[in-house]
Amino acid sequence: MTTAARRETTRPALSLVFPVYDEERTIGQVIESAIETGQELFDDFEVVVVDDGSRDGTPGIIDRWSQRDSRVRVVRHPRNTGYGAALRSGLRGASGELVFFSDADLQFDLNELGVLLAHSDDFDIVAGYRSPRRDPLPRRLIAKTWGMIVRVLFGLRVYDIDCAFKVFRRSILDAIPIHSIGAFVNTEILVRASSLGASIRQVPVSHRRRLHGTSTGAHPRVLIRAVLELSKLYRDLRKRQPTQRS
């Protein structure tokens, strides 16, 4: 899958990014799977793990993997700063020509990354959508409502905005700022990229129920922060629009 353009650069062909917070029960399996998947897809790749101030055994597990395999890189936050901040650090720290990210909770099958990469030569972003989505009904309803709001405000027609299974071209990530520190980060990235004319391909991916840990995506505090960040992004993009003359 390596193109001539990629061979001319010292960048790895692919970065696999995982923001992590207190995932000691899953992170080792995730890193192992990421390495196996990367080896099947490219000769040169890296795995970037962002430890967002974990308080359990996660840091030690990550360190052991990075010492064992030089393709595993660690980005460490001294304290927990939020999912968006961790993802931003990972995306900014990744050096691949293609950058993939996912969560470290084993809800996705990394073997399906190849399905996304099959479209990466033709689209700037390849976004997975959970089919079917295995989350509880309240979370699915919140996600559906959120998607409708984003569509009305920004015209973004994406089935599953917050699905943590996406591939980006390096040029797109370099072209957009990322300010969100919370769950809004997926929306911000897609909206900003779309506003620059980025092409998006949507692909169904498998989804499993979370077996370990607790998701905070539907917590009221998280939702309130997302709404505030949504309002800020809307105002920001409105300011950047050229004045319409009658």
**pLDDT tens for residues 201-244?**
999 999 988 765 555 555 677 778 888 888 889 888 887 765 44
Task: Find, among 80, 84, 23, 15, the residue nearest to 44 by Cα.
Answer: 15
| Residue located via tokens 């129920």 | 209
DSSP 218-238: T-HHHHHHHHHHHHHHHHHHH
Give me the CATH topology for the region 10-240: Spore Coat Polysaccharide Biosynthesis Protein SpsA; Chain A (3.90.550)
The H-or-E segment that residue 194 falls in is helix 185-195
> What six digits make up the tokens of 61?
């597990």
* Domain range annotation of the chain: 10-240
pTM for the whole structure: 0.87
Render pLDDT for 40-87 as a digit per residue (tens, 0 to 9): 999 999 999 999 999 999 999 999 999 999 999 999 999 999 999 999
